[in-house]
Amino acid sequence: MRVGIVHLSVAAIFLFIAAGVFNLQIVQAKKFRDLSDNNCIRLLPQAGSRGRIFDRQGNLIVGNQLSYDAMILPQDRPQIDKTLSAISLALGVDFASLKDRFRKGYVASFVPVTLEKNINFKKAVALGELKSDYANIIIQPRPVRYYPYGNLACHVIGYLNEIDHWRLTKLEDYGYKTKDIVGFGGVEEKYDYYLRQEDGAQSIQVDHRGRFICTLGFRPPVDGKDIRLTLDIRLQRIAEEALGERKGSIIMMDPDTGEILVMASHPAFEPALFINKPAQALSGLSESALVNRAISSAYPPASVFKLVLASAALETGKINLSTSFFCSGSMRIGNREYKCWDVHHAEDLRAAIAHSCDIFFYRTALLLGPQVLHDYAVKFYLSKPTGFDLPYEASGFVPDPLWKKIARFQKWFDGDTANFAIGQGDLLVTPLQMARMVAVFANGGNLVTPYIVKNIAGKDLSGYAEGHLKIAVKKNIINYVRQDLRGVVSEPTGTANVLAGLPVSVAGKTGTAEAGNNKTHGWFVGFFPFNSPKFVICVFLENNGSGHAAATAARQVIEGMIKENLI
C-alpha cells in the first residue's frame, strides 16, 4: 500500500515537471523567444542637432558645434582600472575623479558610462589613439549650442536647460520625457517643438553577459528646423551698446508691419553657461537678469501717456487747437499741491506736448474725467498683451473708479485723475506697448501686432501675424498729435531737443516716472524719418535716469545706425 502511494507520488511529480516543460517549450515558446531576442539587442542613442536661429539678414545668431564626450563601455570589469588610468593621462583628469564618475554612472555592462563631457577635438584625437589598445573606449560626438555673438539678444533667444517638473507635466503628452533638454524663455522656449531634434539610434547585439557582438542597424537622427527672426543683429549690437550697463530696454520696430528689429534688455546673461553648468549660471546671475524687461515688466509710462490724453481731449472736444492753460509751476487739486517740472506760463497743446507741461494735462484730464481717460487708454490697447510671439508678455494695467471701489474699497479723487494724466499712479505699461502706441502716430492710425519670428524652415510666417487694427480715434486727431511730436525734438526748448541736428528728422516724446526711493524711470518713444517713418524706437531706463537720458540713448542708437549706413 505504501509502495503504491510512493509510486503515485513520484509519477505525479514527473507529470508536473513534464507539464511545466511543455508549457515553457510549447505554450509560451514565442513569449520567451521574444524576451530572449529583446535581451540581446540594445539601442545606443545618436544625438541630432537642434535647429539654428538666424537674423533677418541670414546671420547666424545661434548654431551648433560638435563637442565630444569621453565614454567607456564597462564590459571587461577587471581591466576597467587600467583603461581609466589611460583615459586619465589622455584627458589630464584625476584618476580618482574618473573612478568616482564611473562608479556613479554604472548601470549595466552594455550601457556606456560618460566620464567627461565636452572635451575638445585635440583630446578626442588623443583618446582615439588609445582605442587600438582599449576597445571599450567610446568617443561620442554631440552637437551643442554655439553663440557666435555671446550674450547679444539673449532675452530674445532664451537658453537651454534640463526640463523641469512644471514643463514636463504640460509636455509629456507631446513626447517630452525626463532629462530632456528644452528651451527656457525667448525663441528657444516658444518654438521648442520646431527647434528640437529627433535623436537616432544604433542597434547592437550583445551576448548573455551584455558584451558587444555586432552592429545590427542604424537610424540617423533628424535635425530640428531652422528659424529666421525679424531681428537685425547689427542694430541689436548698436542698441545694447547704447544701453550699456544700465537696467532697462530698447525696442526698435517697423511701424507699418510690426516686425521687431531690436529687442534689448539689461541686465543680460550668458546662454552658453547653461549648457554644462546650469547651477553655476543661475547662481552667478545679477538681479532679475532672466527677465525680458521689454515685454515682461510693467512700469508707469509717465509723460508718454500724454499722447493718449491729448488724443482723447481733442476727439471729445474738451479742448481744441487754440485752448491754452497758464502754468505757474503748480496748482492745487483738493488738499494737495501738484507741481509741474518747470514754469511754462501760457501753453497751448502744441507747446504743452513739446515742453511736457504737467499743469496743462492736469487741467485737461479734470475736464475729461477718469472714465474717459480709461476708455481711451483701452482704445490704444494698453491693458492687453500686444499678441507678441514670445512667452511671458505682461498685460499692463489701466485703472478706473469702479476698479478702485471694488478692489481697494476706496473712492476715486481728482488727485487720482491728475496722476493718471501724467502716467503715474496705478497705470502700468510695458515698453513694447509703448512702442506699439507710438507706431500708431507714425503710420497714421494702425495698431500693428509686433512679431519677431519671420519664418520656420523657410516657410514665411509674416502672413500669419494677426494683422492691423484701425485705432478707434479719428485720423485727423492722430495726424495733429503726430505733428506735435516733431516739435518735442525740433523746438529749442523741446524735452527731446538732444535729438535735433541729426541727418535724419526724429519725432517723439520723453517721460520721467517716479519709481520710489528718490529714483526715476526714463522714457523716450519716437519714430524716424519723420516724413516717411521706417523705425519706431522705445528707450526705457529703469531706476536710472530721466526722459532726457533716454532721449540721449536714442540719439546714440541713431548715430550708430548712421555710422553703419543702416538708415
Q: Cα dist. 378→208, 221, 419, 428 in Å?
A: 72, 49, 17, 12
CATH number for region 48-152+198-229:
3.90.1310.10
CATH 2.60.40.10 corresponds to the domain 233-269+294-563 = no
Rounded to 5°, the CA angle 332-333-335 comes to: 85
Ranges of each domain in the chain: 48-152+198-229, 233-269+294-563
Position 35 scores a pLDDT of: 47
- What mean pLDDT is predicted for residues 468-486? 94
Which of residues 462 and 531 earns the better pLDDT score? 531
The predicted pLDDT at position 171 comes to 87
Return the pLDDT at 23.
63
Q: Given pLDDT bands bounded at 50, 70 and 90, which one contains residue 460?
A: confident
pLDDT value, residue 367: 97
CB 104 within 8 A of CB 35: no
- Residue 76's pLDDT is 66
pLDDT given for residue 280 in this prediction? 61
Q: And the C-alpha cell for 355? A: 515742453
Inter-residue contact 228 to 455 (CB < 8 Å): yes
pLDDT above 90 (res 389): yes
Q: Are 498 and 524 in contact (CB under 8 A)?
A: no
Q: Rounded to 5 degrees, what are φ and ψ at 268?
A: -110, 180
212: pLDDT strictly greater than 50: yes
Q: What is the mean pLDDT of residues 41-50?
A: 74
- The pLDDT of residue 89 is 87
Instruction: Grade residue 246 by pLDDT with cuts at 50, 70 and 90.
Output: very high
Region 321-325: mean pLDDT is 95
**Which grid cell sits at 39?**
535581451
Query: Could you report the per-residue pLDDT of 533-548, keeping only the tens digit for each?
Result: 999 999 999 998 899 9
Question: Is the pLDDT reported for residue 285 higher than 50?
Answer: yes
Residues 358 and 423: their CA atoms lie apart, in Å, by 10
Residue 486: CA count within 13 A, CB half-sphere: 13
Between 143 and 529, residue with greater pLDDT:
529
